[in-house]
Amino acid sequence: MPLAPLVVEAIRRQLPPGSDPDDLVFTGPGGGAGVQRGTRTVLSRNNLNRTYHNALAKLADPAVPLRPTAQRILVILRDSGPQPLDQLAARLTAAGRRPIRPATVAAALGELRAAGLAAVDDHDQDELTGRWGALPVVHDALLDVVELHGAHDLRHTYATWLEDAGIPARVIDELMGHQASSRGGHLGGSAIGAHYRHTTPEMAARVVDATQQRLTVVLEVAELAVERHPNLSTLRVF
């Protein structure tokens, strides 16, 4: 399966040093692609699914990637309204087993501010003595137009991108491992006809180019999001 350079680079970053290049395949827990059943490969479908669902959770709630202290402070601010730093430290200390230093609270408030989830009251801009309040969460419009379920969504995206780029349906079926349809034929032609048609290196290059162009746009959008929300810089697109 031809892979775009951006995909190859991203997968290599996830492999341990010295891994065999043949490991650049998501073969799951075993039982296929020459992998014995019960064998978990370096890049398993389980890890891909977990990463994907974590990304969806962060999209639905910006508070998900916050560290524990910041999450606890956000809950307090949302439930009890604006409060100064020293009062937040006292409440966290009373609710926990050890004292919470003001510096720890200040760092957590800075994290919330960077995420666009909290800010100091407009009438008092002093971060140490001013009252901090929770900001309303902006609903991501993407959730209203895209129905997201799991990592299988990536197959829908891949097929759609290639179709938009004018890649023949037969080639898309071949790359995605689709067999003959229930009607006895292939999409875009008959089963016997597909026997005489082959994917040339030139067509594979078109597939790579189409995928690379789309991924480039995705990364540009992600970089813009990081510029607007610096706290997202801790998240990897791939």
Per-residue confidence band for 237, with pLDDT thresholds at 50, 70 and 90: very low
Please state, in angstroms and rounded to a whole number, the distance separating the CA atoms of residues 117 and 74: 8
CA distances, 117 to each of 52, 82, 130 (Å):
23, 12, 16
Quick one: pLDDT at residue 202? 93
Give every strand in the sheet of 131-134, ordered side by side.
Answer: 83-84, 131-134, 118-120
Which 3 state secondary structure label does DSSP give 179? coil
Neighbours of 162 (CB within 10 A): 21
**For the chain, which residues make up each domain, given as ranges?**
1-43, 68-134, 152-238
**In 29-55, which positions are buried (b, 16+ CB within 10 angstroms) versus exposed (e)?**
eeeeeeeeeeeebbbbeeebeeebeeb
> What pLDDT score does 85 carry?
92
- Count CB atoms within 10 A of the CB of residue 176: 12
Evaluate if residue 238 carries a pLDDT over 50. no
Q: Please report which confidence band the pLDDT of residue 185 belongs to, taking 50, 70 and 90 as the band edges.
A: very low
229 phi, psi to nearest 5 deg: -130, 85
Quickly name the fold that domain 68-134 has.
Arc Repressor Mutant, subunit A (1.10.10)
Q: With contact defined as beta carbons under 8 Å apart, do 163 and 207 qualify?
A: no
pLDDT at 77: 93
Which whole number is the average pLDDT over 145-174?
A: 87
- pLDDT value of position 42: 66
Q: Which of 61-65, 70-74, 209-213, 214-218 has the lowest mean pLDDT?
A: 61-65
Average pLDDT over residues 233-237: 43
- Taking only the tens place, the pLDDT of each residue in 6-31 is 988 888 887 777 777 666 566 555 55
Task: Provide the whole-model pTM.
Answer: 0.59
For the chain, the average pLDDT equals 78
Cα separation, 2 vs 45, in Å, equals 19
Helices (H), the chain: 5-14, 45-60, 68-80, 85-95, 102-114, 142-145, 153-164, 169-176, 191-196, 201-228
pLDDT digits (tens, 9 = 90+) for 123-148: 656 777 889 999 887 666 767 777 77
